[in-house]
Structure 1
Amino acid sequence: MEILGIVAFAAALLVSVVAHEGGHFVTARHYGLKASKFFVGFGPTVWSRQRGETEYGIKLIPAGGFVKIEGMTPLEEIDAADEPRAFYNARARARLVVMAAGSFVHFIIAIVLIYGVLVGLGLSQVSESKIGTTSCVATTASCTGPGPAAAAGLRAGDRIVSFDGAALGSWQEFTRRVREHGAGPATLVVRRDGKDLTLHPDLVEVRRNRVTGEAGNDRVGALGVRPGLETVRYNPIEAVPRTFSVIGSGFTGMYTTLTHRLDDLGKIFSNDRDPEGFISVVGAARIGGDVASAPDTSALDRVRQFLVLVAAINLAVGIFNLLPLLPLDGGHIAVLGFEQARHGLRRLRGYRGPVQKVDFAKLLPATYATVAVLLGFSLLLLSADIVNPIRLNQ
């Protein structure tokens, strides 16, 4: 099952990359630019066919795809007949749309997958009342015994109704009341098999922050429970804002990874590697295999998690491609933005000539440096994912 998950993830990623290139291709053709090649894969050509001015084909290594748009930069040599249709001679709007189209396709794929999961399969999320697991509580350096919750008879699947007579509306409120209670007996009402059951756990004292529940020095009560997961399904209308909320959290997570987790690169070969940190394509594929072969998980849950993973990868790739670095799409967009901003300032000073193009020859050293850094970064992550992979099923 794990191999099947890896193959399925690789196929989904290949389709996404080809769709990315298809976005460039369709928009380039729409604006009259010449796209001379559209291939799936890299390396030696296995099959190709010329249709009109475009050669379509398949190459040996199924690791992506590419579309060749003539004249991506003024440094590229092209036929004189193709000069009017070269990318660098296109209007600013056309160049912007063509370069943004690839990432736009990734975003559309992510939105469609998340929306489909929300409506068709539902989304697993942390419950506000359902018990997931019970555990011991570390009152000293060690953690032994069943813990107050298990000792009182609390079970996974129970739903919290009230604590010490106070009705509860959220897990956060529940844990806050437990901390404020401190050590000693408490009254806990749970719903099990449709019936309310009263339990009397004997809470223990631990040192934590009284407000947040994180590490701290306050003397607070502890029960030894964690919330469970439950599936929430949305109707087609409710799913719209929820979809964009999930997508928004993806943007936030990507920003956090790029700005606050760079230090974690030093841990990718250690035992405390961040499971939510950087991974390579190989690592992502392996996680896809883990999702497909997750033990004690229903087929529906595996499909749901797999689709969410594919959506997350598409979102990450789309965001990454928009970084303002050549040769990424975002680098070309940044060059275009600089050209237009500079032209606007010149017009304010009375200039009425054509837009002056950026000299790409001056950008080559920065481009080569970016390629070298990205290649080194990719090899580093690939090595880590081979010798110290992130595994979901341990």
Structure 2
Amino acid sequence: METLIMVAQLLLGLSILVGVHEWGHMVAAKAFGMRVEKFSIGFPPKIWGKQFGETEYSIGAIPLGGFVKITGMIDESLDTKNMSAEPEPYEFRAKPAWQRLIVMMGGIIVNVITGIIIFIGLALANGEAYLPKEELNKHGIIAYDLGEQLGFQTGDKILSINGQDYERFSDLLSPDLLLGSDNYYTVLRDGKEVRVDMPNDFIDKFADKKNRVNVIAPRWPFSVESVAPGSNAEKGGLQAKDRITSINGQPIQYFDELSSSLDNLKGAVASFGVLRGGEEINLEIAVGEDGTIGFYQNRELDYVSRDFTFGEAVGEGTYNAFAVVWLNIKGFQKMIAGDVDVRKSLSGPIRIATFFGGTWDWNNFWRIVGLLSMVLAFMNFLPIPALDGGHVMFLTWEIVTGRKPSDKFLENAQKVGMVILLSLMAFVIINDTISILPF
């Protein structure tokens, strides 16, 4: 069922993104009097189609893209049978270069607008909540395996990043930081300042999904929120609002200390020191084979939360949308520099589906769609023939030099671009498949 939900979200997300992208091309073309023969979401074979005016609207069976066929344009269909005849006034090739440029930019522009609108909507709906530096450093961090490899230790208090102050916990592993170079942290450990350096290829390890929660986390004191019915905790007398202060005489202040102690007491009965209503009591509680006793914790950390006004949401959403583009640029720089493994950085439809998750969460769905909309705009702007950016490159050349590339040149460039794109698609699909194999 989880797989079906992931696939359904992927198909819906791609349909929205491809639909608005191709709509951008079509609207611009029609605005300049160009004939649009076909508008398709998905690639052939066609499973549905209907003619409205001069345009056939259809849905293809392969939901990994779409296309708009504009008369007189050399596109991925490579239909050039009428290109030797004199162009008709309604053809793409008969229009001024600036109009053709706007048509080719139409999909990119609409994807950018779509991404911005989605991020504005998310900011308006959700506001923001974050753990400020001051609250984080009351208790320090938990260093997991990958964090320890970096050089962190549990209990460290992080003072600065690259010698600069920071505002919130999320800044410590922000995408902008991970995609940077020569980064370091200054931490307070046992009363001394210590430098922790981040290797330039650290993002390779972080890119592995299972590692993203395996670096650092805020350290938190806790109390008992509720006790699971029938659990060992209930049988041992633990109650809501209790505070566990020790296990077998060892002091407990933070939840990671509790987890570590329970892992070493699996299947045993332990003596729990508990603070209840100002009174210290002792309880004998059996620890399960999974290292738990059966209660829900209350994390005692003070997060800052606030709602955005519409004006603030516009600013926040726009910033977040363009931050995606900037991070893609930095990611490409990392790949070119050899700091990032291409196999871990490029995702195809299989891995993208896992980003949506196996439960239908509309907030997460729109966040992923907004992100993909900006990524699609960025990728389409790359100067590769067969992408919009390839057409933009040739049209810009024509506008600047006054010389139009020949139809034969454009046809051959389109063929080269298609080979590049198909090869890239094959690579990411194979790479995705390998990444989800259990070995």
Q: Please state which band the TM-score falls in when normalised by the shorter chain.
A: 0.5 to 0.7
Shift of 1:111: 0.6
In structure 2, distance between residues paired with 1:182 and 1:103: 49
- RMSD over aligned CA atoms reads 3.9
In structure 1, distance between residues paired with 2:304 and 2:119: 17
Residues 32-54 of structure 1: CA deviation (Å, up to 9, x unaligned) = 10111122322233333322222
Match of 1:214 in 2: 197
Matched, 1:376 2:427: no
Matched, 1:278 2:325: no
Normalised to the residue count of structure 1, the TM-score between the two structures is 0.67
Match of 2:317 among 239, 243, 250: 243
Match of 2:142 in 1: 135
In structure 1, distance between residues paired with 2:352 and 2:366: 13
Shift of 1:242: 1.6
Q: Report if aligned partners of 1:42, 1:65 keep a CA contact under 8 Å in 2.
A: yes
The 1:3/1:127 distance shift into structure 2, 3 A limit, reads farther
Match of 1:38 in 2: 39
The 1:266/1:365 distance shift into structure 2, 3 A limit, reads farther
Match of 1:226 among 187, 209, 218: 218
Match of 2:368 in 1: 309
The 3-state SS of whatever aligns with 1:335 is: helix
Q: Report if aligned partners of 2:87, 2:93 keep a CA contact under 8 Å in 1.
A: no
Q: Report if aligned partners of 1:40, 1:62 keep a CA contact under 8 Å in 2.
A: yes
Q: Report if aligned partners of 1:34, 1:82 keep a CA contact under 8 Å in 2.
A: no
Q: Report if aligned partners of 1:43, 1:61 keep a CA contact under 8 Å in 2.
A: yes
Shift of 1:70: 0.5
Match of 2:190 in 1: 183
The 3-state SS of whatever aligns with 1:261 is: helix
The 3-state SS of whatever aligns with 1:241 is: helix
Q: Which moved more, 1:108-117 or 1:66-75?
A: 66-75
Within 5 Å, which residues of 2 pair with 1:142-153?
147-148=154-155
Q: Report if aligned partners of 1:119, 1:239 keep a CA contact under 8 Å in 2.
A: yes
Match of 2:404 among 344, 347, 357: 357
In structure 2, distance between residues paired with 1:57 and 1:142: 53
In structure 2, distance between residues paired with 1:322 and 1:30: 22
Q: Report if aligned partners of 2:398, 2:404 keep a CA contact under 8 Å in 1.
A: yes
Match of 2:329 in 1: 255
Q: Report if aligned partners of 2:46, 2:61 keep a CA contact under 8 Å in 1.
A: yes
Residues 192-227 of structure 1: CA deviation (Å, up to 9, x unaligned) = xxxxxxxxxxxxx68x42xxx4369xxxxxxx8638
In structure 2, distance between residues paired with 1:170 and 1:266: 30
Q: Which moved more, 1:304-313 or 1:122-131?
A: 122-131
Q: Which moved more, 1:331-340 or 1:126-135?
A: 126-135
Match of 1:77 among 60, 81, 96: 81
Matched, 1:324 2:383: yes
In structure 1, distance between residues paired with 2:370 and 2:41: 21
Match of 2:22 in 1: 21
Structure 2: unaligned runs, 5 residues or longer? 160-164, 173-184, 200-215, 220-300
The 3-state SS of whatever aligns with 1:307 is: helix
Q: Report if aligned partners of 1:128, 1:170 keep a CA contact under 8 Å in 2.
A: yes
In structure 1, distance between residues paired with 2:132 and 2:400: 50
Letter aligned with residue 39 of structure 1: S
Residues 81-102 of structure 1: CA deviation (Å, up to 9, x unaligned) = 9722110111223212111110
Letter aligned with residue 135 of structure 1: I
The 1:370/1:65 distance shift into structure 2, 3 A limit, reads closer
In structure 2, distance between residues paired with 1:181 and 1:265: 30
Residues 252-294 of structure 1: CA deviation (Å, up to 9, x unaligned) = 11101222125367563xxxx4xxx22112211121125x47x
**Count of residues paired in the alignment:** 309
The 1:54/1:15 distance shift into structure 2, 3 A limit, reads same
The 3-state SS of whatever aligns with 1:357 is: coil
Matched, 1:287 2:287: no
The 1:135/1:104 distance shift into structure 2, 3 A limit, reads same
